[in-house]
Amino acid sequence: MAFDLFDDQHEFVEQIRAQLRSGNRSILGVASPAFGKTVVAGHIIATAREKSDATAWFLVHRKNLLRQTSMSFWGAKIEHGLLTSGRARSTLPIQVGTIGTVHSRIDRLTPPKILFIDEAHLCRGSMFERVITWCKDSGSIIIGLTGTPQRLDGKALGHLFDVMVEARSTRWLIDEGRLSEYIIYSTGLEPDLSGVTRNGGDYNKEQLAEAMDRPTLVGDAISHWRRYANGMRTVVYCVNVAHSKHTAEAFNAAGIPAVHVDADTTEKELKEACEGLADGRYLVLCNCELVIEGFDLSSQVGRDITLECCILLRPTQSVARYLQMVFRALRRKPNPAVILDHAGCAMRHGLPDEQREWSLDGKTGKRRTQADDEADVRVQKCPSCYHVFRPGPTECPRCGEKVEAKKSREIQVQDGELQLIDQVMARRAARVEQGTSKTLRDLIALGVRRGMKNPAAWAVNIACARKGKKPTAADYQEANRLRAKM
């Protein structure tokens, strides 16, 4: 088995190997969605099996992700069995399964040499801990993978993992074209959460539903969607099942075809909803917690079709939950994703691609503990179009409305702040410039303008990354041919 890894994926594998060499047995790998976790896991498994007859399991937390993961493994030509209820166990050395099934069969199974836990931030409760401890005790290597290394209740994962390694950032993946750019809008209609108490690290769900499940808020979501995301393939995150159903009804009543899914939705119904979304019978998929961690529309339908818009109607105190919702819309596609935040998440938690300091011992790092006071200076909202952006400009980057120039505290605490703001703005402008260079020729021209050493090769790398393919010799030849004519 050979895996064609991107350089940053190699880097990530090397970081994991270095930790294993230094004696750590349980490693939490942090990587953005669409980083290519399956390919990386496949590579690690394949290399391990070249040297020994190691067994490996890749466990997911929900059955509806099993089919999707299994398909990605087949896509990467990894032969495997399925560890799931209703399936006889195969003897293949590689298994893809659900944590629940392993837990229920624990007495009849032999722990694998390598255990991968997907969406490892969901590791809580006795089931996860029992499976992980059982494997650890028998000497397995544990590799957890997640985009947000913090449990949804804000608690840490340090008791399960020895060490954490991080892949390149979300921003880097966006710049490389492996994730899509995004535009985020908040709303003028702030939900009133004054009567909502906290419960288990997040808002009390019942009270939150009361505050959010209101026709005015849903109506506002529909009018914003019409204005900023009309016709886009959309996922809506609601507080609970009733809220999600009401929201779907409201979209349907407004003539926008919507479908609701929840935990009681059968595999077949979910598939139907996803197919409907893929072929345009539905434009809007409403849910509360089903279509979140790990969910990938294109894997569900087996075609390269992505979500284009994400509507947040679910306020959360958990930055992990916020990111998991937004990430669903950031799969690679030609145009920026539109995020409509009616839940105050961006103002509270910052922009999705903000550099975050994660740690295995929980909410540490200055930025995190001061998040509440700082949120309003990390991002700024245009009073006219509600676009949310990094502070710095004197005009809204979307509509041009004059705004009060605020300085981001993130930048302010450092020396030479104005210069830094300029740098931040320049980098932003550079990214926009790169994003609008659509053709290979445009990209080469941009590379030339930027004084790149080899603009043709750079352009090929960016163009191929956007399509998710590895550059070939023919690609470089084509670029050199174009470059020669310029």
Report in angstroms how near the CB of residue 344 gets to Zn ion at its nearest: 18
Q: Which residue has the tokens 């990390």?
A: 378
Sign of the torsion angle spanned by Cα atoms 345, 347, 352, 358: negative
398/406 with CB nearer Zn ion: 398
Query: CB–CB of 171/205 below 8 Å?
Result: no
If phi > 0 it is left, if psi is from -120 to 50 it is alpha, else beta; for residue 77 that is left
> How far is it, in rounded angstroms, from Cα 164 to Cα 27?
6
Residues that bind Zn ion (CB under 5 A): 382, 384-385, 387, 396, 398-399, 401
For residue 293, which phi and psi values (nearest 5 degrees)?
A: -45, 125
Nearer to Zn ion, 242 or 399 (CB): 399
Question: Quick one: CA torsion of 169, 175, 176, 181, rounded to 10 degrees?
Answer: 100
Q: How far is the CB of 385 from Zn ion (least distance, A)?
A: 3
Minimum Å gap between C-beta 272 and Zn ion is 39
Nearer to Zn ion, 35 or 386 (CB): 386
Q: Which is nearer to Zn ion, 301 or 351 (CB)?
A: 351
Min dist CB 386 to Zn ion, Å, is: 7
Residue number, 408 or 437, with CB nearest to Zn ion: 408
Based on CB atoms, which residue is closest to Zn ion, 16 or 403? 403
CB 371, min distance to Zn ion, A: 24
The number of helix segments (H) and strand segments (E) in the chain equals: 20, 17
Tally the C-alpha atoms within 13 A of residue 24's C-alpha that lie toward its C-beta: 20
Query: Token pair of 225, please?
Result: 């969607």
Residue 122 DSSP code: G
Nearer to Zn ion, 92 or 399 (CB): 399
Closer by beta carbon to Zn ion, 383 or else 416: 383
Residue 391 CB, shortest distance to Zn ion, in Å, is: 14
Query: Do the bridges between strand 388-389 and strand 380-381 make them parallel or antiparallel, or are there none, so unpaired?
Result: antiparallel
Quote the CA–CA distance of 326 and 305 in Å, as a whole number. Answer: 17
Query: Shortest distance, CB of residue 186 to Zn ion, whole angstroms?
Result: 11
Q: State the nearest-atom distance from the C-beta of 401 to Zn ion, in Å.
A: 5
Q: Identify any residues that bridge with 27 across adjacent strands, giving them in sequence order.
A: 143, 163
Q: What are the strands, taking DSSP E only, across 56-113? A: 56-60, 81-83, 94-98
DSSP 146: E
